[in-house]
């Protein structure tokens, strides 16, 4: 599944826009076959605490099945005025930036300083270094 991320809009008020995730991997150790059914749930949380739950029921199909529509730039795109960031960190992609910037630079979209941490997904350096005060405080208590 997709790790939690932040959507950065042009304002804190409602605004129109499109967000597309063209590839959503299955959870680890999950196997499915053509014809299996599942539900995808997306939870959106607002700054003021409101939440929106969006669900869609799907049926898995074989790759190349003619019922599967082609995913391309005309039906799967992110609005130009929407950006992305790790949750509870500094902004790593301002809203209004073109996603092509990351693609042309070879960087991972939506990140500036990332590295692999304990074999998981790339983490923002700030997300990992935010633990430093806690670790230092714990060591100080032990002294």
Domain ranges of the chain: 6-107
Residue 8: the pLDDT is 82
pLDDT tens sequence across 31-62: 999 999 999 988 888 877 888 899 999 999 99
**Band (109; pLDDT cuts 50, 70, 90):** very low
Identify which of 15-29, 50-64, 113-127 has the greatest average pLDDT: 50-64
Please state the rounded mean pLDDT for residues 94-104.
50
* Selected residue with higher pLDDT from 69 and 92: 69
Identify which of 55-59, 109-113, 116-120 has the greatest average pLDDT: 55-59
Please state the rounded mean pLDDT for residues 74-89.
84
Q: Distance between CA 21 and CA 56 in Å, rounded? A: 14
Instruction: Say whether pLDDT at 98 is over 90.
Output: no
Instruction: Give me the chain's average pLDDT, please.
Output: 74
Residue 39: the pLDDT is 92
9 touches 16 (CB < 8 A): no
């Amino acid at each position: 599944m997709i790790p939690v991320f932040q959507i950065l809009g042009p304002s804190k008020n409602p605004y129109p826009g499109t967000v597309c995730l063209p590839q959503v991997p299955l959870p680890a150790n999950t196997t499915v076959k053509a014809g299996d059914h599942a539900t995808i749930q997306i939870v959106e949380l607002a700054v003021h605490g409101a939440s929106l739950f969006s669900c869609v029921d799907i049926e898995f199909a074989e790759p190349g099945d003619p019922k599967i529509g082609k995913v391309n730039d005309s039906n799967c795109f992110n609005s130009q005025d929407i950006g992305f960031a790790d949750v509870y960190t500094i902004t790593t992609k301002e809203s209004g930036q073109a996603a092509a910037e990351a693609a042309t630079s070879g960087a991972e979209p939506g990140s500036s300083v990332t590295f692999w941490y304990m074999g998981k997904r790339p983490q923002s350096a700030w997300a990992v270094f935010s633990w430093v005060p806690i670790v230092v405080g714990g060591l100080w208590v032990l002294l």
